[in-house]
């Protein structure tokens, strides 16, 4: 039994079943025994591979997206670049290299990294040494002013709650002990959170599951508020659905394979699909505008990933060229990350459509939430 499993069992014995959210928060985020404080969850040797670890093109294009968006904002000085959940720091290292080609950005950009895992923060400090970056535990630690915010595969790692439709109404799924392990149980009565199930889904058949992430919603609201007040834009890339829907997506992964969700807490990765509709609603309620989501394929193609692959390939050895093409395929093919993964933008309420979102659905804040940005360019 993992050390965290022992600790969770004692907690349940003392206080009763944990919500799925409490279990997932401990499994991923416990500062001592949580999964993200393990040494090496990423890459071929780890449990999963993220887009920046697949190809340098991903981070490079996002770096250039930041530069273009910054110019659209009226180039406020200094350019402030923020990444939430930077993992190994690969995306930012690739983005900064690409930004060396942007004369008014390079050398003056202020980099801020928001990371909750002490061990990943150490890893990022090594990778981004010499960049002058500063680290924060939460968004609240950022200095005020317009910002370009990037979050790749962050929201899928934020804990979710699960509501289950039963004969008694919408109850909440919790985690109880079961011999040496854990099992799911349901709360006996209706959950107060049932009000969050969209009206069109409330009459769902028995057994239906509705998932939502309170910390994801709260973070989207904080990002929206920051951008509405100070100006700027956020780029969120993750896997999930454009509209709220029913379905169970909580999963655990170990060594690139599915793993039983309640086995070995703290030792396996846990994620759930992102509900972009709920994130968008939260950001707009805070006074921001949202664009998308659009598929990762459409977004990366609009940013020129095919041309970048050709340029890199022209100077590469045959084995490197094959790797560049494989990376392009994994990032953009529908059968890989091309359509399940989506890009979503949050901006201040007067912003132009950011690059890659020109054809995307734009949604404005409700009139009561709209504010004038303090220091942002585009109208």
Question: 328 to each of 151, 325, 338, how far by Cα in Å?
Answer: 20, 5, 10
Task: Identify the residue among 79, 85, 224, 265 touching ligand SAM (CB under 6 A).
Answer: 85
Task: Identify the residue among 17, 63, 79, 87 touching ligand SAM (CB under 6 A).
Answer: 87
Q: Which is it for strands 251-254 and 134-136: parallel, antiparallel or unpaired?
A: unpaired
Residue 266 touching ligand SAM (CB under 6 A)? no
Token couple for 198: 């969209």
Q: How far apart are the first and last CA of the chain?
A: 57
Which stretch in 108-116, 203-211, 349-357, 370-378 sits in contact with ligand SAM by CB under 6 A?
108-116
Which stretch in 78-86, 188-196, 277-285, 286-294 sits in contact with ligand SAM by CB under 6 A?
78-86
Task: Identify the residue among 64, 84, 164, 262 touching ligand SAM (CB under 6 A).
Answer: 84
SS (H, E, C) 1-57: CCHHHHHHHHHHHHHCCEEHHHHHHHHHHCCCCCHHHCCCCECCCCCECCHHHHCHH
**Under rule CB under 6 A, which residues in 117-146 are in contact with ligand SAM?**
117, 120
| Number of residues binding to ligand SAM, judged by CB under 6 A | 18
Task: Identify the residue among 154, 229, 234, 262 touching ligand SAM (CB under 6 A).
Answer: 154
Measure the CA–CA gap between 80 and 144, rounded to whole angstroms. 10
User: Facing residues of 346 across strands?
Assistant: 234, 290
Query: Whose Cβ is closer to ligand SAM: residue 127's or residue 362's?
Result: 127
Measure the CA–CA gap between 177 and 5, rounded to whole angstroms. 10
Residue 95 touching ligand SAM (CB under 6 A)? no
Burial class from Cβ neighbours inside 10 Å (0-12, 13-18, 19+) for residue 301 reads middle
**Under rule CB under 6 A, which residues in 20-39 are in contact with ligand SAM?**
36
Task: Identify the residue among 157, 227, 229, 343 touching ligand SAM (CB under 6 A).
Answer: 157
**CB contact at 8 A, 371 and 142:** no
Binding characters for ligand SAM, 197-236, by CB under 6 A (x = yes): ----------------------------------------
Task: Identify the residue among 114, 223, 345, 349 touching ligand SAM (CB under 6 A).
Answer: 114
Residue 331 touching ligand SAM (CB under 6 A)? no
Query: Which positions lie near ligand SAM, rule CB under 6 A?
Result: 36, 50, 52-53, 84-87, 91, 114-117, 120, 152-154, 157
């Amino acid at each position: 039994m993992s050390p965290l499993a022992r600790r969770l069992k004692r907690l349940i014995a003392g206080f009763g079943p944990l919500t799925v959210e409490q279990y997932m928060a401990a499994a991923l985020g416990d500062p001592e025994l949580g999964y993200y404080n393990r040494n090496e969850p990423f890459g071929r040797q780890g449990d999963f591979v993220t887009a920046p670890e697949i190809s340098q093109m991903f981070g490079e294009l996002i770096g250039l997206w930041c530069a273009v968006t910054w110019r659209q904002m009226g180039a406020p000085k200094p350019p402030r670049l923020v990444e939430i959940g930077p993992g190994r720091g690969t995306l930012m290292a690739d983005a900064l290299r690409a930004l060396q080609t942007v004369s008014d950005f390079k050398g003056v950009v202020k980099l801020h990294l928001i990371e909750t895992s002490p061990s990943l923060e150490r890893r990022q400090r090594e990778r981004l040494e010499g960049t002058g970056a500063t680290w924060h535990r939460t968004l609240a630690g950022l200095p005020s002013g317009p910002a370009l915010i990037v979050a790749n595969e962050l929201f899928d790692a934020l804990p979710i709650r699960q509501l289950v439709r039963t004969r008694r109404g919408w109850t909440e799924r919790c985690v109880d002990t079961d011999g040496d392990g854990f099992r799911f149980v349901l709360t006996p009565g209706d959950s107060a959170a049932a009000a969050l199930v969209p009206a069109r889904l409330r009459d769902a058949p028995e057994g239906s599951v509705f998932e939502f992430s309170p910390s994801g919603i709260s973070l989207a609201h904080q990002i929206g508020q920051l951008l509405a007040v100070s100006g700027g834009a956020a780029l969120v890339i993750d896997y999930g659905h454009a509209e709220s829907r029913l379905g169970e997506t909580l999963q655990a992964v170990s060594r690139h394979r599915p793993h039983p969700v309640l086995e070995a807490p703290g030792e396996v990765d846990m994620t759930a699909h992102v509900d972009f509709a709920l994130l968008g609603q939260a950001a707009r309620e805070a006074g921001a505008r949202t664009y998308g989501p659009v598929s990762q394929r459409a977004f990366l193609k609009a940013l020129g990933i095919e041309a970048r692959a050709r340029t890199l390939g022209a100077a590469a050895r045959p084995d490197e060229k094959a790797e560049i093409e494989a990376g392009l395929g994994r990032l953009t093919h529908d059968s890989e990350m091309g359509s399940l993964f989506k890009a979503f933008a949050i901006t201040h309420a007067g912003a132009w459509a950011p690059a890659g979102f020109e054809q995307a659905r734009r949604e404005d804040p409700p009139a009561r939430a709209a504010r004038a940005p303090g220091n942002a360019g585009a109208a």
